[in-house]
Amino acid sequence: MLPSLVLGATALLLSYCYVRLRYKRFSEYAHLPQMPTTLILGHLKTMDSFIRGGKPNGHPDLAFRAINEALGRPPLMLMDLRPFGPPMAIVRSHEVAEQVSKAYKQFPYSLPKMPEVYGHMVHVTGPTSILGADGEEWKRLRKRFNAGFAPQQIITFLPRILEKSLTFISNLDNFVATEKSFSLVEVTGNLTFDIITSVTMNVDFGAQKMDQPNEFTSAYHELFETYASEQMDLPWFFTPLKEWRRRQLANRVRKRLTSIVQHAYGNRKHQSVKSRSILSLSLEDNTSTIPDRVINEACDQLSTFLFAGHDTTSILLSWMFYELGRTPHAMQALRDELDNIFGPDPSPYIVRDKLLSDGGQELLNRMTYTAAAIKETLRLWPPAGTARLTKPGAGIKVQTSTGEYNLEGVNIYNCAIMIQRDPEVYGDTANDFVPERWLQNETGAKQIPPSAWRPFERGPRNCIGQELANLEARVVVALVGRRYDFVKIGLGQLAADEIGNPILEEQGRYKVESEMYPTRQVTPKPVDGMMMRVKFH
């Protein structure tokens, strides 16, 4: 009797599971455009097929883009990656992306961030990071840090940015002398790490001293490396040894950050002039001793700013020098602008002195072509998108050119590389480096909707540090843009004719032997680290 009951209960349970699985795979999100799905794997097999058929170790966004093309370019599409990831609506249309990032009545600070993303990155950003915070908690943190990233505050960081940039120039001079190849992402990453630690904590870790590794910098980079080459955010129990290593490295980083926070808090009690570091500006000072809550929260936010503040700008600079190097008319226009603004002598010390003068801010504002080149680089090679979460019953619907879609209960990913290369917006040059498209005085230029450019995302949750990234990029370009020629080697290097001259194609760009592309190393980075040689111009 008992075996029959057990057998019957098992059959009922299996039948229920089968019915639920069929519903989840074939009915729950059937109203969204998608590739054919399977009962067991959903879209995992499709995703794997497109990844294998794409660039070696290419970023998953490239596969999303190819799948969207195969579907006929719908404004959004479903990717069901369960059980390794949640079902996601991948957004291609800037109009849909704008609706996703806007404020709703029930979500006044826009839709909540997707918890799986920031839970996976907790060892880098900390559990209370502003990146993953939502609702009133996010509002409190944003208000607390706004003063540290206000434009009038950021310009006071200019002397420090210039100081660190001159060390960067010294390192480039050494590469010229030795003719050694190097990873531009690594070198610019060390520069931006020095800048962000200086402006946030008023600490010099010497990240650019390549022959003198710093314990904190080494631990941070090792921690970051444990996330490199991951194509999917797997739960910790799939990679227990890696998770253990991350915890060890995160503890080393946290120990140093804690001592910095405690030291800064103690010092500001005795300072007659308030420090301008973001750490000091954001610490509470209404108690005689610093609470553990404040220490932990400050460490989490510092970790977040280290991550976002150095990574984004180093990626931008690396791609920008690559694109300028293969687009001669753009490089010449940029250099002509720098000659016009700073004079014919390209000495970085002359540029530095002019930027430190009373008119330094006005000189930076005049770098309009440089600004256009920065904006175009960020369009082609966005450092990130945004992933949001909806809940059943929230009534979240988006309007598209093909109708209305209900997105309740599905995660939403604004895929920036799809949105910002949309031929419906950018035409035949959607994949080309064309800074001129951003110049206001271009006659006959097609108006580009503001929502179609979103490397720092948009809406209430836009990036708090975007002005700092722009300032850093302008300063670095002003100092080095006329001093060096960056020469790509290996993947992405220029093709040459029979006598060794580069081949100029119709669109005004040099032909390359192979196309560069991003890979997933936490954020989308150049696949080979942007290997370069450099010489004096």
For residue range 77-128, list pLDDT tens digits in order.
999 988 888 899 999 999 999 999 988 888 888 888 887 777 778 888 888 8
Nearest to 415 by CA among 114, 131, 69, 92: 92
Q: What single DSSP character describes residue 90?
A: E
Angle between helices 292-325 and 368-380 (to 10 degrees): 100
In sequence order, the 6+-apart residues with CB closer than 8 A to the CB of 523 are 311, 312, 315, 383, 384
For residue range 192-224, list pLDDT tens digits in order.
999 999 888 888 888 898 777 678 888 888 888
User: What is the structure's pLDDT at 271?
Assistant: 61
- For residue 443, pLDDT over 60 is answered with no
The Cβ of residue 125 has, within 10 Å, a number of other Cβ atoms equal to 21
Cα separation, 450 vs 434, in Å, equals 17
Cα separation, 505 vs 502, in Å, equals 10
User: What is the structure's pLDDT at 231?
Assistant: 63
Cα separation, 452 vs 75, in Å, equals 13
Phi, psi of 244 (to 5 degrees): -65, -45
pLDDT-wise least confident of 299-308, 353-362, 385-394, 450-459: 385-394
3-state secondary structure (DSSP) of residue 222: helix
For residue range 318-348, list pLDDT tens digits in order.
999 999 999 999 999 999 999 999 999 999 9
Q: Tokens 């790490």 sit at which residue?
A: 193
C-beta of residue 517 within 8 angstroms of C-beta of residue 58 = yes
pTM: 0.93
Phi, psi of 332 (to 5 degrees): -65, -40
Average pLDDT (479-483) is: 96
Instruction: Classify strands 88-91 and 386-389 as parallel, antiparallel or unpaired.
Output: unpaired
Question: What average pLDDT does the chain have?
Answer: 87
Nearest to 477 by CA among 372, 370, 375: 370
Nearest to 232 by CA among 425, 84, 417: 84
Cα separation, 406 vs 395, in Å, equals 8
User: What is the structure's pLDDT at 15?
Assistant: 82
Instruction: Classify strands 411-414 and 88-91 as parallel, antiparallel or unpaired.
Output: parallel
Cα 4–chain centre separation = 58
User: What is the structure's pLDDT at 142?
Assistant: 87
pLDDT-wise least confident of 53-62, 302-311, 351-360, 371-380: 302-311
Encode 360-376 in three state secondary structure: HHHHHHCCHHHHHHHHH
The pair of three-digit structure tokens given for residue 152, joined into one six-digit string: 């009038």
List Cα–Cα distances, 320 to 202, 210, 360, 465, in angstroms: 28, 23, 23, 19
Phi, psi of 420 (to 5 degrees): -90, 0
Radius of gyration of the chain (CA): 25
| Structural domains in the chain plus CATH codes | 31-536 (1.10.630.10)
In sequence order, the 6+-apart residues with CB closer than 8 A to the CB of 325 are 331, 485, 486, 487, 488, 494, 510
The pair of three-digit structure tokens given for residue 299, joined into one six-digit string: 């460490």
For residue range 370-419, list pLDDT tens digits in order.
999 999 999 999 988 888 888 777 778 898 888 889 888 889 999 999 99
pLDDT-wise least confident of 13-17, 146-150, 281-285, 447-451: 281-285
Cα separation, 94 vs 247, in Å, equals 38
